[in-house]
Structure 1
């Protein structure tokens, strides 16, 4: 997408249908096999790129995106001066954490960093912590000065 092109409307997600198994195979099996140790960084920047393509106007749009693409239910947990903390919950998160292959949430982290950056008009980075015992992923978005 060129910089001169319009962003995609968030409503486009209502028209996309997928069961997700093929996506999971590509993400968790093929991509790491092809890119090795660079796969996590690639996924993070793919997430950032994806966020730039959509017209996101609010935190609600970000949560809507997460649910529509099957990433789970994203909730803002805490807001501080220089960071936001989110929790990602849902049956899909439980299922992903139970998969017999290593899973990650770098794509989601990259998307969240860029989406918040766009909303707050400040550079952001995001880290995630997987909490398997409680079937939750915690994202922390830091504002970069």
Structure 2
């Protein structure tokens, strides 16, 4: 029988003790080594499952979570009927590129996709793209077209 997972809320997140190195080793070394070529897809699904546990209720909650996780500063830069564009920037993003720690942002993309799905109540997917010259990662959310 599977144990019910801890519901993530702000109080729970503030109780976690970490300095990031352990997370980085697991995220960028151990998990990709363990999962091989499937790592990108599985990290995306992990991000989606995490968002369902966190259950963000607003854009501000999503932005705060990105900061708490040490992922960087998330900003909505464009919104259209069937698409949203976000930029993830800040020291964590630049640092990852400088030291060569993971060039992929699939966990963040999965988290963002599931979070937006919950808030907007629309199915969507997220595609990430590195923009190193401008020091940010762009996330494009695409909503399923309504019939």
Structure-1-length-normalised TM-score: 0.91
Q: Which runs of 5+ in 2 are unaligned?
A: none
Seen in structure 2, the aligned counterparts of structure 1 residues 101 and 59 have a Cα distance that, compared at 3 Å, is closer
Q: Could you tell me how far 1:140 is from its partner in structure 2?
A: 0.6
Aligned to 2:15: 15
Aligned to 1:24: 24
Maintained 8 Å contact 1:97/1:135 = no
Q: Could you tell me how far 1:97 is from its partner in structure 2?
A: 1.1
- The two structures, once aligned, show a CA RMSD in angstroms of 1.8
Q: Which runs of 5+ in 1 are unaligned?
A: none
Task: Report the 3-state secondary structure (helix = DSSP H, G, I; strand = E; otherwise coil) of the residue aligned with 2:67.
Answer: helix
Maintained 8 Å contact 1:10/1:56 = no
Structure-2-length-normalised TM-score: 0.90
Aligned to 1:132: 132
Q: Could you tell me how far 1:134 is from its partner in structure 2?
A: 1.6
Post-superposition CA distance 1:51-73 (Å, at most 9, x none):
00013110000000000110000
Count of aligned residue pairs for this structure pair: 143
Counterparts of residues 1-145 of structure 1 (less than 5 Å): 7-145=7-145
